[in-house]
Amino acid sequence: MASLVGSRVERKEDKKLLTGRGKYTADVTFAHQTYAYFVRSPHARAQLKNVDISKAQKASGVVAVLTGKDIANDKIGGLIAGWRIKSEDGSDMKVPAHPPLANESVNYVGDHVAVVIAESLDEARNAAELVKVDYKILKAVVKTDKAMDSESIYKDIPKNLCFDWLLGDRAKTQEAFDKADKIIKIDLINNRLIPNAMEPRAANADYNPSTEEITLYTTSQNPHLARIIISAFNGVAPENKLRVIAPDVGGGFGSKIYPYAEEVVCSWASKKIERPVKWVADRTESFLSDCHGRDHVTHAELAVKNDGTFLGFKNETIANLGAYASVFGTVTPTYLFGPCATGVYKMPAAYSNVKAVFTNTAPVDAYRGAGRPEATYTIETLVEKAARELGMDPAEIRMKNFPTEFPFQQTLVHSVDSGDYNAGLKKAMEVGDYKGFEARKKESESKGKLRGVGFCSYFEACGIAPSAVVMSLGCGIGLWESAEVRFNPTGNVTVFTGSHSHGQGHDTTFAQIAADRLGVPLENIEISHGDTDKGPFGYGTYGSRSLTVGGTAIVKACDKIVAKGKKVAAKMLEVNESDVEFKDGEFIVAKSNQKKTIGEVAFACYLPGTYGEVKSPLPEGEEPGLKETSFFDPGNFSFPAGSHICEVEVDPDTGNTEVVKYTAVDDFGTIINPLIVEGQVHGGLAQGIGQALYENCHYDDTGQLVTASYMDYTMPRADNFPEFNLGFTCTPATSNPLGTKGCGEAGAIAAPPAVMNAVMNAVGTEVSMPATAEKVWKACQKMNKSNSKAA
Amino acid sequence: MKTFNYHSTKDVKEATKLASSSSAFLAGGMTTLPSMKLGLASYKDIIDIKRIKKLSGIKVSGKTVTIGATTKHAEVAHSKEVKKAIPSLAALAEGIGDPQVRNRGTIGGSIANNDPSADYPSACIALNATIHTNNRKVSAEKFFTGMFETSLKKGELIEAVEFQVPEKSCYKKYPNPASRYAIVGVYVAKHKSAVNVAVTGAKSCVYNDENISGALSKSFSSSALDNVKISSSGMNSDVHASADYRANMVKIFAKKAVEAC
Ligand SMILES: Cc1cc2nc3c(=O)[nH]c(=O)nc-3n(C[C@H](O)[C@H](O)[C@H](O)COP(=O)(O)OP(=O)(O)OC[C@H]3O[C@@H](n4cnc5c(N)ncnc54)[C@H](O)[C@@H]3O)c2cc1C
């Protein structure tokens, strides 16, 4: 049987998803359904003086109106920060209380004030207008770089500073800088983004008073985490009385990893009114209240020798956490950012200092790449600038500083198990025809356009592990993954994974792995996920972890199945277990034609005895059934890497910038399904190019979100992209038996610096993200590069 | 969305009779429905005019192109007759929003709404359009009176827009990358008697830029605009573009339009 690993199997889930047969949270409606509408703060910062619900309570169709007082009276816990970060001085981070419904103050536009529950959504919405809230409006803190100099939002958090974190050695870094021939400096803004999953967040909680059980349907990347948080921290129901189901979920990009106020409130309210409570965000609510991404202000320096050798790196960053510390809000700008900030290079000394601040904006949390795009943008902008200032080719300076021996102990934290960065960059230059750039530039010039080329070489650390290490760094959860492989009596298989698919294609990739391992046809394998009542506890999908961690758990569970199968087969074949080999779904007695298929063995496990034709005695002491569980905690992260080369064309008269050629060569270790991996790269590139050229979350000085709809927030569209040229190199990971590395975030990590370096190369001066037409036009004016033909 | 009465009407008389101070005509709904959903507008009566046959269709004579009010953008974009008589008008329609919007949105709805960034108002000004309503004919110049304002009276219904066929013309816009409305759009039309240069997106309402049209009347070439100064005063400024940028783009896009005429 040919191995399925490496083959372009079409996604099993697409038929359902593309024909409208997916089942999303909003599709779930219970008998006696009620509908929730949230009263949200229109102000960025205000004291809640009074919330008068009397009129709303009397409105048509209203079942209940609940406020922060009610939730406090019921002792429902607040939303949590999942990762405890310590400051350089050893002190714990400072976080404000984050009640699911505000009690004393509101701290961003969209913050939750009250919930109106009614027989219909229209009635809930109309009654919400009758909730009279008396706000004392306070001056909002909005700008990332001004937060520390502004009035404290929370009285016990001076300077709005959550923590002041350091990784690395300042003194050693300074020594390196003292020896430098040249110091390259940059100031960067990593623009704030709004995740914009295609499916808006939603929750539908159904409390059954007779069993006291809540079933919560929700748009989650991680239903198990939602369950443990809502039960252990919010205290809504004990874990055994809370079932969380994340059915089909239409994208998350990090914004759906953890539960929000709405899930907590719907679950609690359902228990209170003893009816199901459904909430589905409208698009405006998504813009206002989904956690945002990025939002860093960075000063960084690179110490170099005249021959281009890197000596040291400094990174001083202010990271905006928004109004509250969200679940992964504090780890994103620290352990996911700092260690990767030295990039893919040998860097003798370095440090990353991050000051995380609170502002009156929506909370900021992990968004595709989470910390690593920010790190990569910083170092790759610096490296390109160093090449420019030293008069070196951007590829040459990179290759000069690539490590060539693996495992490679990276400066700040990681021991990178495998890689070949030179091979990746060389291949990218080949695939992208770097040699031909000058000719293409001339051609663009003949049309009155400026053409630029930009590089990005990146590595990233994903599939966070092992649990013991990350917990010692302040992580409040483990990061292993589970799998249960269950043979059904008739020989087909259901695989339960603790990870969750919301676009990644688990149903296909995971089935390929199990099919290979068990020798069972792909169509006989079903992947099940997203329901805490089915399969073991797990940690969901984010951080490019599912295949390396969750896929490995499947492999291990399959291996256990085969081990048991061997014993059963030996008994059935009346030979010694050591004489039985397993290959392509068959247990074979060596040097004979005696064999049992894995299906026959499974059947025997479920019918252990003799009954007419059926003769399937189990070995002595063996339990019936064929089902195995595995929990896999990897020994290390996985470290995908690659080189991307972008070419842009700029119209100097308008500043309009187009990506005209994009080459991505990535090393994701072993690739199970190239079709899916290419799709992941395409999606990541779209978001990365989106960040570089189009997307920008903009709050005005009073904290109003200006870009709160698609009329103002520029989502990139298909016509904004060229065909992508993809290529791959492969150095298998050593930390998992599949040899795979995460692929989901690479595009979003590598694209912003590749694009911005190309823009810089075209216009000859720095432009900040997103490089809108006006910014690029101004840069062209500054450099006097208007198109003589039209000017 | 607040509840409302829905009326599907069969002729202009029925539609205008139903109109009141708390009603709206429903054409493509591309503007009306989102604003109702967002709670920005609410009406007692929604009067659907899409079934009134007379309001839809394209008529081309030697000198004019007349487009019925409920004719969709996609129909104009794909019309062979329009493409032949005034290719720039078909091209303008093809550049509106996205396919969904073009398949629903109508010319009547667009000009009645008079969004400062909409495309059609510039065509009306540049192509000396006459707006036919249920009780009068108004010149485009008198029709567009301000930001989201027109000289339409309450309950007055646009029936058709009659464009004058120019000698040559071209519309060039820099689309807002998010919405694809015009950040700046310039419609240059050379008629026998005069040159019109209608600008949309730049100010609170479409206008004829007399500096540019003056220069082009003397010499219809892009170099004629080299020394024309465009002031940024009165220009829009928002997250997408400053007034300065818009002022510069008016000139750049006027040149691009002239070059492509
Ligand atoms: C996402 C998006 C992108 C868009 N992009 C662009 C763009 O790039 N360029 C552009 O120009 N436009 C754009 N539009 C606007 C669109 O093209 C429509 O023209 C516009 O929304 C109004 O047309 P409608 O037929 O949908 O009118 P409706 O929404 O039905 O009506 C709009 C208003 O006009 C009134 N009205 C309608 N018909 C008549 C009539 N015959 N007589 C009197 N009053 C009438 C209605 O009562 C209402 O007040 C965009 C719209 C959307 C939603």
Q: What is the CATH number of the domain that holds B102?
A: 3.30.465.10
- Average pLDDT estimate for A611-631: 88
DSSP string, A615-652: EEPPPTT--SS-EEEEEE--SS-B--EEEEEEEEEE-T
Percentage of chain A exceeding pLDDT 90: 94
A730 SS3 class: coil
Q: Is B40 on the interface with A (CB under 8 A)?
A: no
pLDDT value at B58 more than 60 = yes
Residues 6+ apart with CB under 8 A from A464: A470, A475, A479, A543, A545, A637
- Average pLDDT estimate for A253-264: 97
- Average pLDDT estimate for A320-326: 98
Residue B104 DSSP symbol: H
By CB neighbour count within 10 A (0-12 exposed, 13-18 middle, 19+ buried), where does A388 fall?
A: middle
The two structure tokens encoding residue A4: 């399925």
Contact predicate A614/A507, CB 8 Å: no
Instruction: Indicate whether B160 and B173 sit together in one domain.
Output: no
- Average pLDDT estimate for A11-29: 96
Helices (H), A213-292: 223-228, 261-273, 283-289
- A711-751 residue pLDDT tens: 999 999 999 999 999 999 999 999 999 999 999 999 999 99
Instruction: Indicate whether B95 and B131 sit together in one domain.
Output: yes
B25 SS3 class: strand
- A580-606 residue pLDDT tens: 999 999 999 988 999 999 999 999 999
By CB neighbour count within 10 A (0-12 exposed, 13-18 middle, 19+ buried), where does A87 fall?
A: middle
Percentage of chain B exceeding pLDDT 90: 97
Q: Which of B164, B187, B218 finishes a domain? A: B164
pLDDT of B62 reads: 85
- A528-550 residue pLDDT tens: 999 999 999 999 999 999 999 99
Average pLDDT, chain A: 96
- A23-76 residue pLDDT tens: 999 999 999 999 999 999 999 999 999 999 999 999 999 999 999 999 999 999
pLDDT value at A275 more than 80 = yes
- How many domains does one find in chain B? 2
Q: Cβ contact (<8 Å) for B252 and A653?
A: yes
Q: Is B240 on the interface with A (CB under 8 A)?
A: yes
A596-608: b or e for each residue (b if 16 or more CB lie within 10 Å)? bbbbbbbbbbeeb
pLDDT value at A789 more than 70 = no
Q: Which of B145, B164, B183 finishes a domain? A: B164
A182-212: b or e for each residue (b if 16 or more CB lie within 10 Å)? eebebebebbbbbbbbebbbbbbbbbeeeee
Return d(Cα A112, Cα A107) in angstroms, integer. Answer: 9
Instruction: Indicate whether B214 and B89 sit together in one domain.
Output: no
Percentage of chain A exceeding pLDDT 70: 99
Domain that residue B21 falls in: 5-164
Return d(Cα A203, Cα A210) in angstroms, integer. Answer: 22
Helices (H), A632-770: 674-689, 746-763
Distance from the Cα of B179 to chain A's closest Cα (Å) equals 4
- B118-155 residue pLDDT tens: 999 999 999 999 999 999 999 999 999 999 999 999 99
Instruction: Indicate whether B149 and B251 sit together in one domain.
Output: no
Give the chain A residue whose CA is nearest to the CA of B184. A654
Instruction: Indicate whether B250 and B122 sit together in one domain.
Output: no
Q: How far is the CA of B26 from the centre of ligand 1 (A)?
A: 9
Instruction: Indicate whether B68 and B177 sit together in one domain.
Output: no
Distance from the Cα of B180 to chain A's closest Cα (Å) equals 8
pLDDT of A688 reads: 98
Return d(Cα B101, Cα B30) in angstroms, integer. Answer: 7
Return d(Cα A780, Cα A757) in angstroms, integer. Answer: 15
Return d(Cα A754, Cα A758) in angstroms, integer. Answer: 6
Task: Compare A435 and A465 and report the one with higher pLDDT.
Answer: A435
Q: Is A447 on the interface with B (CB under 8 A)?
A: no
pLDDT of A477 reads: 86
Instruction: Indicate whether B44 and B12 sit together in one domain.
Output: yes
Return d(Cα B161, Cα B108) in angstroms, integer. Answer: 8
Q: What is the model's pTM? A: 0.96
Residue A788 DSSP symbol: T
- Average pLDDT estimate for B78-100: 97
* Banded pLDDT at B162 (limits 50, 70, 90): very high
Q: Which of B132, B164, B196 finishes a domain? A: B164
pLDDT value at B77 more than 70 = yes
Instruction: Indicate whether B93 and B153 sit together in one domain.
Output: yes
Q: Which residues of A touch B255 (CB under 8 A)?
A: 790
Cβ–ligand 1 distance for B106 under 6 Å, the answer yes
Residues 6+ apart with CB under 8 A from B220: B190, B195, B258, B261
pLDDT of A790 reads: 41
pLDDT of A615 reads: 73
Task: Determine the residue of A283, A710, A711, A715 to mutate for testing ligand 1's pocket, defined as the one with the most ligand atoms within 8 A of the Cβ atom.
Answer: A711
- A749-784 residue pLDDT tens: 999 999 999 999 999 999 999 999 999 999 999 998
Query: At B186, which CATH number?
Result: 3.30.390.50
DSSP bridge pairs for A301: A185, A314
Instruction: Indicate whether B134 and B210 sit together in one domain.
Output: no
Instruction: Indicate whether B159 and B198 sit together in one domain.
Output: no
Residue A549 DSSP symbol: I
Instruction: Give the domains, in start order, of chain A with CATH numbers.
Output: 14-138+201-280 (3.90.1170.50), 390-462+636-790 (3.30.365.10), 480-632 (3.30.365.10)
Contact predicate A732/A669, CB 8 Å: yes
Instruction: Indicate whether B102 and B226 sit together in one domain.
Output: no
Return d(Cα A259, Cα A226) in angstroms, integer. Answer: 5
Cβ–ligand 1 distance for B186 under 6 Å, the answer no
Instruction: Indicate whether B35 and B107 sit together in one domain.
Output: yes
Return d(Cα A68, Cα A102) in angstroms, integer. Answer: 5
Give the chain A residue whose CA is nearest to the CA of B221. A790
Q: Which residues of A touch B239 (CB under 8 A)?
A: 696, 698, 706-707, 712
